[in-house]
Each structure stands twice: as C-alpha cells, then as structure tokens.
Structure 1
Amino acid sequence: MFKSAIAIMEGTKAALMAIKANAMRSALTCLGIIIGVAAVITVVAVMQGFTKQINDQLADMAPDVTTIKPFTSIEQEMVGKNAKLTYNDFLALKARVKEAETLTALMFTWRFSGGAEYGNKSHSSRVMGTEQDYQKAYRTFPELGRFIRAEDDEKRRRVAFIGPSIIEKLNLPKNPVGEYIKLGGEWFRIIGVAEKQGSLLGFDQDDYINIPISTMSALEGPSSSSNVQIMFRLKEDS
C-alpha cells in the first residue's frame, strides 16, 4: 500500500514537472482540447437547429395530404399513349368522395408555362390552377388581400393569388392587390399575396401564382394538354 502511494506521488510529481518544463506545449494542448469540444458542441447545436427548421418546413408542406398523379409507363409512351387526370375527373371525385376532410387539385398547362408579365418586367414562375380548398389543405394564408374563393371558380374570374417573391421579381408595388399581371396572354387581377414561407433546400417556396382552376381549364380549351394532380386528406375517423 505504502509503495503504491509513493508510486502515485512520484508519477504525479513527474507529470507536473513535465508540464512545467513544456508549459507552452501543455497550454496549446489544453487549448486544442477546448476548441475541439466547443466545435463539436457548436456543430451539434447547428444540426439540431437545422433539423428543427427542416421539420417545421416539412410540416407546413402538409405531409398528411395524399397526392394522386397520373402515371404513364415507358411502353405506353412508346406507342403515343399518355395517362392524365382532367379537371372533370377532379369534379367527379369531389362530388362522390365523402370520406375526405379536404379534396382539392392543382392544374398545370403549357399555355401558362411562360410565367408572368408586369410593365416591362417578366418572370418565369410556377402558374397553377387551383380552388378554395387548396388553402385548407396546404395552409396557404394571405398576408395581403384574400385567397381564391368558390365564386371565383364558379364565375371563372381572371384573378391571381401570388407568392411574395413575385412582388420583387416583377417589381410590383409593396401592396400589389388590385394590380394586373399578364399570364398566358391574358390579364389577371391580383387579389392576394401569401405569407412568406422562405426557401427549402435552395427551393424558393414563395415563387408561384395561383389562379382559379376553372379559369385555367376554360382558357386551355377542350384539347387541353393540362396536367392535373388531385390531393386529399382523410377524416380522422376514416
């Protein structure tokens, strides 16, 4: 026991002497350890914050909403066939499906793929036809003005609800409600601006324009090359 105590004391003394003899090296070693630990803590904190931000943004994208898209196999494409959903398919589903809490749709067409014009400015943005329940499904709320209503669809009004990035891209007034922009060669009156969502993995979530889906369908015509996606959220007890 006595010999062990002496050994410990001698070892401690030797260590202290070594530290004293190499004070600068010891200080740098301690500093390196402190910096390393601080760096690890910082990286963990940043990653946790980044993960929370991603989760919050994904939650805003309505992960509980199911999307139905048309699918065309390679074999069908090779013989000139193309599966698609139409505006009438959406109307039929909406009239018959009662188990859905929310059922809405998005329409894209070649006619509106050129984006928007205002004055001498133009911008290639996502122009989508939709209707009032899209707001409920994707929690799209206006910062200014209002969203698309049922009567806008019923009367095929030429109105537009825009993402906030459109204001800067087209050099619109800070409050653009009431201004007219040209979409697909037609004039549309801005009725609302969405709340800012920011970017997700480099993708600008605020660069879009919504117009009534019935208006887009009517302007595209019966020989439509439109692409319709149908989205729904089931009731909790379904």
Structure 2
Amino acid sequence: MKIIVCMKQVPAGTKVDIDPETGAMKRLSGDTRTNPYDLFALETALQLREKLGGTVTVLTMGPPQTEEMMRDAYTMGADDAVILSDRKFAGADVLATSYALAQGITVLGGADLIICGRQTTDGDTAQVGPAIAEHLTLPHAAWVAEITGADESAIRVRQDLVSVSQESEIPYPCLITVDKDMCVPRLPSYLLKKETAARPVRVLTFEDLPDQDLSRYGLIGSPTAVVRMFAPPEREKQVYLEGDAAGKTDGLFAILTGKKII
C-alpha cells in the first residue's frame, strides 16, 4: 500500500503581514504550525500502514522552511517527505495549488491512496483535496468521519454530510479527506527523531514537474484573486471595575457613554 498524505504549514496565530500589492499573506512573517486537520490525515495513514503494510509519504507545497514540518512528520512515523518549492508556485489559489500537488504526486509515481485533511485553517475552502482528485481523475470522498474497513483492493468510509451520513466503498487508487475527531494523532517520538535526523527531505521544483505550462501554476495560474485581506482588529482588553454596586454602575455608565454605545 502506497499512501501519500498532503500537508500544509499554516500561520500559528493572527499576527501575519499582508503583501500590499498582491493581498496575500507573507507566510514567513509570523509563527507557523502544521495544519491541525493534516495531523488527522497523517495518523489515518499511519494506522492504515500498520494494518495493510506499505509506505507513507508526506507531500507539501511551500518555502524551504517547511522542512521543519516535514521532519515533525518523520518523528510521527512517516517514511518519506517531499516539498514542492519554487517561486513560480507563489500566490496560488485552490486551482493552481491542487494542480501543482497533483503534478507532484505524478512525479512520485502516484499512490494507492491519497489522504488530505478536511480543510486548512488559513483558507477554510475544503476544496484542495477534491480538486487534486479531479486533476488526477480519481474517485474520492470528502469529509470522511470514519474508515469502516480497508483491504488490498478498496477502502470503506462513512461521510458525515450536512444532514445525512453516507457509506461508500472506493477502489484504489483514490483520495479521501478526513475530518477531525476520527482518530487521535500520536505524539512525536524522540527515538524516531534521532533515527530520522539524517533522513533527507526531497525538494521538487517547477522544472521537475511533467507539465511545464507556467499558466497552470502560482499567481498566473489562479483564476481567483484576493481583493483584500487584513488581520482582524485586536480586541480591547477587559476592564475590571472596583467598588460597590453603585460605583460600578457609574463606572460602567461612563465607559459606555464615552464609547457612544449609549
């Protein structure tokens, strides 16, 4: 069983800089972390490998700094790690991102099963996984809440949709996106960290991809564009009023009238 897990490094908080020209986030301007939904995808892959055998490869698109995330995946049990990294990929929307990842999967020789997290915490579109499957013409199931069975020929899943639950059996090769709470991601292993310290993380650039049409990648290949993006305003700090009930009432009244709320 050859499994590929698509992962993404996302901002760890709201304090990120915005490019004034493109409206895109400067992803290296703040702290980052592994997209939480992708941890469920990786754990799902590792459990399937334990049951069926095979390998788990993690794949991401991003700057070279995403190697830290990939090494974290090694400490959880991933066998291989690959980064798609090239300035030509910058500014990609869902369509361009999914196409580049699909091309990367093609370079890796495809997979029996591709697993993605349900969505990312920075984009929240939940579209990249299904779009990858469409580019690769693979059957797929999104928002998988449970894997009810798996063998060497097919995987059986339950999807919790808006108002119904649906069970499907999907033959390999295929793609699924998994929801949270379907498993508990394992903790990183210190022993695996030591064992994989010298294990390489492969980097693929635009030149490595079979389709060299620049109009399919990055900002150029993105039919949608960000009109405006901004960080949410900081919330005001809490104010504690001291004194008796009458004094607190007068203080609250002064604050509300000062803000012209009343």
Report the TM-score when normalising by structure 2. 0.22
Give the greater-gyration-radius structure (CA): 1
Structure (1/2) with the larger helix percentage:
1
Report the TM-score when normalising by structure 1. 0.24
